[in-house]
Amino acid sequence: MSTSTFIERAKFSCALGGALTTLAGLPRTVPIVHAAGGCAASLSGAYNTAAGYRGVGYCGGNMIPTSNIAENNIVFGGEDRLAEQIENTLLAMDGDLYVVVTGCQVEIIGDDAVGIARRFSDRNVIGVSSPGFLGNTLAGYDAVMSSIVDNVVAPSPVKDTRTVNIFGVVPGHDVFYRGNLDELARLLGRVGVKANTFFGTGESIEKIRGCGAASLSIVLSPKTGVKPAGRLREKTGAPYILSEIPIGPSGSADFLRQIGGALGVDPRLVEDVIADETEYYYSYLERIVDIYSDIDFQRYAIVAADSYYAHAYTRFLANDLGWIPHLTAINDIDDPEEQAEYLKRFGDITSETRPAVVFERNAGQLLRHVRDSRARNRNEKYYDALSPAYVVGTGIERSLADKLGAGFLAAAFPVSNRVVLHRGYAGWRGALSFVEDLITNLVAAR
C-alpha cells in the first residue's frame, strides 16, 4: 500500500526522467521513448540545466526518438506506432544500444512496449518499462540498469577476482557523477582493482557486456543500485556490498579498506595508498590553513541532500574539515525502518557536537527545522545565534541560505548556479575541489 503524499519542490524527476538521465550517461546509447511527445525533451531538459549544465548528451533533449502518441492512441493503442518508430530510429540514429523506455500514458492503456522491443533484439534494441508513476528518478535508474544487466551484460564463466562493478551512482542526479566515477576508478586502480563504472571515462557498450566477469558489485546509494546489483548476483553469482560515496580522507580510507578487504587485497598496499593520498591531500589543504585560521572559516554546517550525499558530506565537513555539523536533512527516505537504518551512519561522526538529523521531503519545511533547532531569538541582548552558518545543499536551498544569512554551496541535485565539467567530490582529490568551492564562496567578495 502506498503511503506517499505530495512533495513540495521535489528534488527528483520521475522514473522516466531517471531512465533518460541514466541512458544519457551510457556511451553511444539511443533512447526510444514510447510516450506523449513532450515527456522526453522536458525530462532531459531538466538534467540539461539542473545537473550543473550537464547538457542533453549524445542523443538527448529534442533529439530523443519518441513515438509521440496522442489521444487517438490512448483509445486505439500505440504499439504499431512504436514499431514504426523503432524501425526508423535504427535507420536514422547511430548507436551501440537502443533502449525503448515508456511513459505513463502507454502503460496505463497497456501497450506491451517491452514485447515490441524484443522483436528487434537482434539489432541491439532492449525495452524497459519506466512510467513516471513507477517512482522517482532512482526507480528509473534501477529499471534501466536492471534491464542492462538482464539483456546486455553477458554471463561470464570466469570471474576476475580484481574487478568490480559500481552501482548506485545515477548520472545527472549525481551532478558530479563522471568526475566521481573517474576518481573512484583511479583510487581502486591504485590498489590493483579494476572498476566497471558504466558511465565513466573510457566506458563502452562492449565493455559493459563484459561486466559479468566482475567478482563484486559495490552499491554506493542506500536508495538505488541494489536492484541491478541483485539481478547481477542472480545472473553471475557476483555478490554486492553496500558502501557510500567516499568524500575526503576519512571516508576514502574507509572505502578502500572496505573494498580491499572484500577482495582480499594486501592490506599493506591499501594502507600505503591511503598514506600517500592523505599526504597529497594535506600538501594542498595546507594552502588554506592560514586564511582559515586567521579569519575563522569554521562554520555551522547545514546539509540538505538526498541519502546518497547527506551523510557523506556531513562526515567530511565534521570529521575532516572540522566544521560543526548542526543539521542534516535527508529528502528521500520516508520509511521509518530505513530512516533508523540510515541514522546509524551518523555514529561515525567524530566532532564534539553531533548533528541533528531530520528526514524532510518538503523543501519549504527546512527553514522550520533550522528555527526549531535553537531557542528563538526573543530580542534578547545576548543571543547565541546560529552564525556563522553555511548551507551545503541543493540549488533549492539558496533561498534558505539567504534567509539565514549563511554561506551556500549547491552540491547536490539540482545544481543550476554553476557549471560542472570534470569536477567531482569523491576521494581525496575530490575533497580538495569541495574545499575550494566551499571556501571560494567565502572569499568571493574580496
Partner 1 sequence: MSKYSDELTYGFTGQVAPPVRETRIGVCSAYCGACDELIADVQSGCAQLQGRRFAQSGGCQLMLAVGIVSSLTNVVVIVHSPLGCCSGFVGSGGLRKTMRASKGKREEEFVWLHTNLDEMDVVRGGLDKLREAVLYAEREYHPDAIIIANGCVPGIIGDDIDSLVTELGGRISAKLVPIHCEGFKSRYVASGYDSAYHGVLRHLVEPLVKYERAIPDEKQETLDRYRISRTVNIFNVGSNSNGDEVELSRIVSALGLIPRVLPLHASLDDLARIGEAALNVSVCATHDDYLLGHLKERFGTPYIIDTLPIGIRSTNLWLLRIAEFFGLEAEAERVIKLENDQLNAALEPFRRELRGKSVYVGGGETRILTTASFFAEDLGMDVVGVKAHNVDRFVEEIMEELEDPRLEITVAAGQPAEELNVLARLRPDLYCGHVGANGWVSRLGIPNLPLFGQALNYMGYTGAYELARKASKALKNTNFVKNISRGVKLPLSAEWLARDTKLNIKETEAV
Nearest to 82 by CA among 44, 122, 54, 119: 119
Asked if 420 interacts with partner 1 (CB under 8 A), we say no
Q: What is the largest CA-CA distance in the chain?
A: 76
Q: Three-class SS of residue 125? A: strand
Residues numbered 348 to 377 that lie near partner 1 (CB under 8 A) are 362, 364
- What kind and span of H or E run contains 324? strand 324-330
Please work out the total of residues on this chain that contact partner 1, with binding judged by CB under 8 A: 84
Asked if 404 interacts with partner 1 (CB under 8 A), we say no
Q: Three-class SS of residue 355? A: coil
Q: Which strands make up the sheet holding 97-102, listed edge to edge?
A: 29-34, 97-102, 125-128
Asked if 17 interacts with partner 1 (CB under 8 A), we say yes
Q: Which stretch binds partner 1 (CB under 8 A): 218-226, 239-247, 308-316, 414-422?
A: 414-422
Q: Which stretch binds partner 1 (CB under 8 A): 130-138, 156-164, 202-210, 345-353?
A: 130-138
Of 23, 24, 26, 59, which one interacts with partner 1 (CB under 8 A)?
Answer: 59
Tell me whether residue 18 or residue 424 sits nearer to partner 1 (CB atom). Answer: 18
Measured distance CA(329)–CA(403) in Å, rounded: 17
Phi, psi for 337 (deg, rounded to 5): -65, -40
Measured distance CA(194)–CA(196) in Å, rounded: 7
Measured distance CA(150)–CA(229) in Å, rounded: 11
Asked if 419 interacts with partner 1 (CB under 8 A), we say no
Of 222, 230, 414, 424, which one interacts with partner 1 (CB under 8 A)?
Answer: 414
Tell me whether residue 258 or residue 399 sits nearer to partner 1 (CB atom). Answer: 399
Tell me whether residue 66 or residue 250 sits nearer to partner 1 (CB atom). Answer: 66
Nearest to 243 by CA among 168, 320, 182, 157: 168
Asked if 396 interacts with partner 1 (CB under 8 A), we say yes
Of 23, 26, 69, 404, which one interacts with partner 1 (CB under 8 A)?
Answer: 69
Site of grid cell 554506493 = 220
Residue 47 beta carbon to partner 1: minimum distance, rounded to whole angstroms: 8
Of 22, 25, 26, 44, which one interacts with partner 1 (CB under 8 A)?
Answer: 44
Tell me whether residue 86 or residue 274 sits nearer to partner 1 (CB atom). Answer: 86
Of 80, 84, 272, 279, which one interacts with partner 1 (CB under 8 A)?
Answer: 84
| Total residues found in the chain within this entry | 446
